[in-house]
Amino acid sequence: MEIGSLKSARAALDGNRLDDNERLILAALVQAGYDESGKPLGHAGRLSSNALAQIIYPTIWESETPNWNEERTRIESCKRQVRETINSLIITHGISICCMAGNGGGYWLPASKEDVEGNYRAFHRRAMTGLVKAARGRKAAYADAMVQLSLGFEGEAKMHRDIADVPGPGEDGPPAWVAVVTGLLQQVKGDPAKYAAEIKRIQEEFGDIFVRRDQVAKIKQLSSELSRVLEGLQ
């Protein structure tokens, strides 16, 4: 049975929306990604960026200039074109392509849903770590808030702060995510008519946890007293 990546790849190759580089790289990934019986190879069928660059530029490794700096710039430009082409296949054409950097890395068509999920988790971690690094020059609380809200409060946030060597929020005051949620609720409170639907949904889903227990007890007491008064009037 074909998985989604092969179906979408074949449909793209049969169509006319791919440019020349996209068609060359996708065809190479399909050829490398399946054995003679049509069985998907997954990571075993990966192609390196060097291999894909040579598909687009067959003479990439043939020296064109004695100047090493110029030669290195030319090669890096070819490999950057590979990355841009892969990104276009994934984002513009919806082709599932797994990517991994470093030794044993490269590009390949996933053989299973587990391949896709593993690739997603790896890129999600990388993206969140990149977010923290990008915000290093700003207040750490902003990056901390984004990571907390994206990854599940304190645990994952601390891990990514440690990786990026970014300090966490100060001990004074609430955690950053509390400040973010408080700010959003203050905005809603400032214009209740505008956010009537949102307020209703929050009340229905979370109303019981936002009312203090002593207030709930007082309301129940007043309700009980009111019931007794009504019974006396009947």
Output the pLDDT for position 52: 92
Output the pLDDT for position 143: 53
- With 70 as the cut, is the pLDDT of residue 223 above it? yes
Q: How far is CA 115 from the centre of its chain?
A: 16
Q: Is the pTM of this model over 0.85?
A: no
The top-scoring range by mean pLDDT among 15-19, 110-114, 129-133, 212-216 is: 15-19
Average pLDDT over the chain reads: 77
Torsion of CA 88, 94, 96, 98, to 10 degrees: 30
pLDDT 10s digits, 165-197: 555 555 566 666 666 677 778 888 888 888 888
pLDDT 10s digits, 47-75: 998 899 888 888 766 765 667 777 778 78
Output the pLDDT for position 152: 47
CA 148-195-213 angle, to 5 degrees, is 65
- Residue 138 CA to residue 151 CA, distance in Å, equals 20
Architecture of domain 4-111: Orthogonal Bundle (1.10)
Output the pLDDT for position 31: 92
